[in-house]
Chains A and B, each alone.
Chain A
């Protein structure tokens, strides 16, 4: 609880003055799955409270790199990660780091909405409970309302919090998963193709939500939809064959990319 508060306070740096603070700094990150070299020497700076989009053809390593940022690759038996990733300047692969704590600070939203087969309420309080973020019923109620509001879902579900989360529409389920993620007050939210299972309206709602969320969180989103990357992100990183080819302001990437491979990919030409 105390560390969470401390982290939040640290994240609340003054904005606007000087270059944006860096939330995540990765240097020369390599990932092997057994013999397969899936990610090759990736270095990137991810600014605080902004949206960074990862684009690139399937299998280029976007999800692999995303999973490095909250050490989800630790759960994959044959995966080996080396290089350095710092969150607010501290190495997340330091043996002293508590991985559970880390994943509370760096939350994740997946491609397929995956609410637990429990009530909407229970879905949201699950994280805060296991992290001991709330004791009383009143605290939990407050977290549920705040998180569901933050995920833009409160008005739609406030009268049926006891109903199962799985009964919601796809777009609502995804927002419930976002509510579940933000309930533990993370600093970074990783999203792996969060809209690929949603229709255009539900997608637009999530995109609008991302715009809201970036005021409080650092967001990294993997997307297959380049227009989506263009719409929601401030920085765009293009991956190709395990390499980070180019990362720049999104406007720059979509008007005047510097690398021929980026140009070929985003304009729909053969690479």
Chain B
């Protein structure tokens, strides 16, 4: 990010800030994929590693805070530099939240590993892939100041919302079929919701990238596919 400043150390400080974000993002990505693996493979040990990793993200977040505050105080950035520093601060908070959601998924993976396996795990896997890809793409967009890529991530959130809605219906039906599925399905539902929230945070990052690069906010309203808040599932099928 930091290039071409007459004062080289200013460039370096901006570049270091961007590097910490990439590290945070890398860990968050791994957290997501491992948390999902832990769910699918019923691997409690892997899950506890994901939970552990969340501390690393938290530490990096406070590192970003420190660096950004120093930059603001000492360099008084303006224009694109100011947007970059402020946007980066917000992005690090978004990644921190993503880490928390991945941790929550991992906690539920531990619980799920102790009960009978459930059918719809493959949709969870699919959701996890989409979320992970969104994080990866949006951080690439951040690193390369690539506004089109950021906008594409932003639009992709609808896909995740749709997956979530369909899984929601599937799980509700499943629970109604057999009350013994309720515990596992409830965990699954929360896991799916966590992943759906991760997608929301990825879109928030996309919005920040869009602002950093263009100085304008994404005008269109956020794509919304999650309508489960209004969904009614009746016994005997049909919703």
Contact = CB atoms under 8 A, between A and B. Distances in A.
A267 B83 contact: no
A184 to B, nearest CB: 37
B145 to A, nearest CB: 14
Interface centre among A230, A253, A256, A262 (most CB of B within 10 A): A256
A265 B238 CA distance: 63
Contact of B83 (A227, A253, A255, A269): A255
B5 A268 contact: yes
A257 interface: yes
Interface string B1-38: 00011110010000000000000000000000000000
Contacts of A264: 4
A227 B7 CA distance: 17
Contacts, number: 38
The range of chain A's interface size is: 10 to 19
Given A255-B215, A256-B215, A267 B80 contact: yes
The range of chain B's interface size is: 10 to 19
A218 to B, nearest CB: 25
B215 A268 contact: no
Given A255-B215, A256-B83, A256-B215, A269 B5 contact: yes
A263 interface: yes
B223 to A, nearest CB: 25
A33 interface: no
Nearest to A227: B76
A270 B78 contact: no
B4 A270 contact: yes
Interface string A245-257: 0000000011111
A266 interface: yes
A226 interface: yes
A267 B76 contact: no
Contact of A268 (B7, B83, B216): B7
A263 B7 contact: no
A230 B4 contact: no
Contacts of A262: 79
Contacts of A226: 78
Contacts of B6: 268-270
B5 A267 contact: yes
A230 B82 CA distance: 13
A224 to B, nearest CB: 15
B79 A257 contact: yes
Given A227-B76, A268-B10, A254 B82 contact: yes
B81 interface: yes
A253 B7 CA distance: 21
Contacts of A257: 79
Contact of A267 (B81, B215, B216): B81
Nearest to A256: B215
Contacts of B81: 267
A254 B80 CA distance: 9
21 contacts: A226-B78, A227-B76, A230-B78, A254-B79, A255-B78, A255-B82, A255-B83, A255-B215, A256-B83, A256-B215, A256-B216, A262-B79, A263-B79, A263-B80, A266-B78, A266-B79, A267-B5, A267-B77, A267-B78, A268-B6, A268-B7
The 8 closest A-B pairs by CB, nearest first: A256-B215, A269-B4, A254-B78, A267-B81, A266-B78, A267-B79, A268-B5, A268-B6
